[in-house]
Amino acid sequence: MTVTLQRPAALGQQIAAILRHRIIRGDLTNGTRLTEEGLADEFSVSRGSVRDALNQLHSESLIEIHKPRGIYVTGLTDEDVTELYTLRGALEQLAMKRAMNVADDDRWEECRTAVGRMLAAAEEDDHARFLEADLDFHDQIYRLADHQRLERTWHQYRPTFTALLEVTINHDKDLHDAAADHEVLFAAMRSSDLAKATQILDAHIEGAYSRMMIELADR
């Protein structure tokens, strides 16, 4: 089956996103062999675009490239998921602590708007719009932190967390609780109570981690 990609967006990034989602969802299991030729045929692109995608997935430890033996899916183990979410917890706590020093309401507007978009998406049961707003909300925390290396580290792992969130959010029958969680987190960040905000963010990330572990166990 041929997959049609949207141009002119970077083809390698699009291919990586599709393969990443297949790996995290479990459609491509550990040990599955991939070939540049097969992927180029499937996506109707050059091997150069496929190579870009594979290099990206290799940097995320989702595949292994062994020349000349081949390319193999490694997938995500329980330990991988634990490492990812504990890393995110550490990064986001630092980002939030720095962001809470920002007093300018205007700089918080995009974060506030993202919460409103999540609430609206929950009312309409629109998982795709909710996902986009959820990611935008967390992007804003890192932007408000005013720490370039911290923000770059988040964006390095953002594609993986996007795929993880896609898997878990599409199994949520009701998005209202998730939207309310973000509303509470936003209010805590806009307060001066760092201890409370830290506790809420810990619970938020722990909840995301627990849902992903349930998904892995159900495979």
Where does residue 32 fall: left (phi above 0), alpha (psi -120 to 50 degrees), or beta otherwise? beta
Going along the chain from its start, the domains and CATH numbers come out as: 11-73 (1.10.10.10), 78-217 (1.20.120.530)
Going along the chain, which residue ranges are E strands?
33-34, 63-66, 70-73
CA distance 50 to 56: 10
Give me the long-range contacts of 148-152 (CB less than 8 A, separation at least 24).
Answer: 150/91, 150/94, 150/95, 150/98, 151/95
- Grade residue 8 by pLDDT with cuts at 50, 70 and 90: very low
When the pLDDT of each residue in the chain is averaged and rounded to a whole number, the result is: 92
Eight-state DSSP code of residue 73: E
Residue 15 contacts residue 49 (beta carbons within 8 Å): yes
- List Cα–Cα distances, 51 to 14, 46, 56, 127, 159, in angstroms: 12, 9, 9, 31, 17
- The pLDDT of residue 3 is above 90: no
Read off the pLDDT of residues 32-88 as tens digits, 9 standing for 90 and up: 999 999 999 999 999 999 999 999 999 888 999 987 778 999 988 889 999 999 999
3-state class (DSSP) for residue 1: coil
Cα-Cα end-to-end distance for the chain: 24
Q: How many CB atoms lie within 10 A of CB 29?
A: 11
pLDDT for res 113: 98
**φ, ψ at 125 (rounded to 5°):** 55, 40
